[in-house]
Structure 1
């Protein structure tokens, strides 16, 4: 049987992406918990370029970068539900939105955490809101195309769902930590409904950390 391991930190949304993909495919794996701020010898050996999690190790061969890992899992384990669309055009569009989320979401969350004063904090929230409004429009378009409005991927969780959904825990934690509204039902009502469905899915609900735990993690490690 193939050896499947994941090096990660439970609070990392990028690690959560890989965990969700593995759960969707019903793949058993060994989770190797890293200590935040420290880098194990295995991590440095497995990811000598970026030296960061997640690292997916399949038969002693390491693969890095969360969305690349998700694509690898989807291509290798074809017996489970598909994560990426089968149509080449739809697959390219999904990858585009995944890259867009990575380009906009995490940097804006970092800006929010590092903001000095209300003006900088609101500017970071505005960036997140602008991203989410565009994703709301894309979600509505996906729903009209597939005839199913449950997820970006149709009637089941797909690539864009994983790319965005991994941040939902940090959205909630940021709202409480900084007294802001990230996912606003007045601006993106369909995404608010989507977020509830996503977080209640069996592949997700035991992966995304609880809000209080993320707040504790942030206060202990990120807000010193």
Structure 2
């Protein structure tokens, strides 16, 4: 299990600041449910608190076994059950058994990963220019990988002549070509959400502007084609017929 070491100092402070006989770090994914154990003794006097709420106001107790939002439940053995955990549940939880002066503390770490937002250049890019894409997302633990796709095929970002990456969440396409027109998306992962659990954005269309010339012999029409990523504007000029 991946331990978030920046929480360890919080646990140590709690252990010394309150009469704690047990401390632990519990990791859980957003959307899951989990029970935080207390003990099997003096269960009739067990009260659960969060460090972010008032010490005088337990979230559950023998008098109030179910919290107002219905997601916190005091079990018969004194454990705290949390249903459908979300990011806001990340906190320090501790149960107190007042008859024996026992306190058990748990640091609940909620792992999550947001669907990424793909940012394309705000203006049309032209042939020969460079274009930078940004794949923006948040998660716990931090992101460690982003995979890039064009038309649902994985891009070969190892081709450093074509692609440049200053980090895993940015991609620069070097010297744009018509072949770079297409639909792009990215997939992000962290230690908690890997492979099929990674998050992807909906594909976005990327256009490239270029200018070309087409001449048709029959009928004798000269076409000047101004093309922007697959959308065609034609400017037509009649060529007078040849007279003998």
Q: Say whether the fold is shared (TM-score over 0.5).
A: no
Between structure 1 and structure 2, the one with the greater Rg is 2
| More RCO (CA 8 Å, sep 6+) | 1
TM-score, normalised relative to structure 2: 0.21
More helix per residue: 1
TM-score calculated relative to the size of structure 1:
0.22
Greater strand percent: which structure? Answer: 2
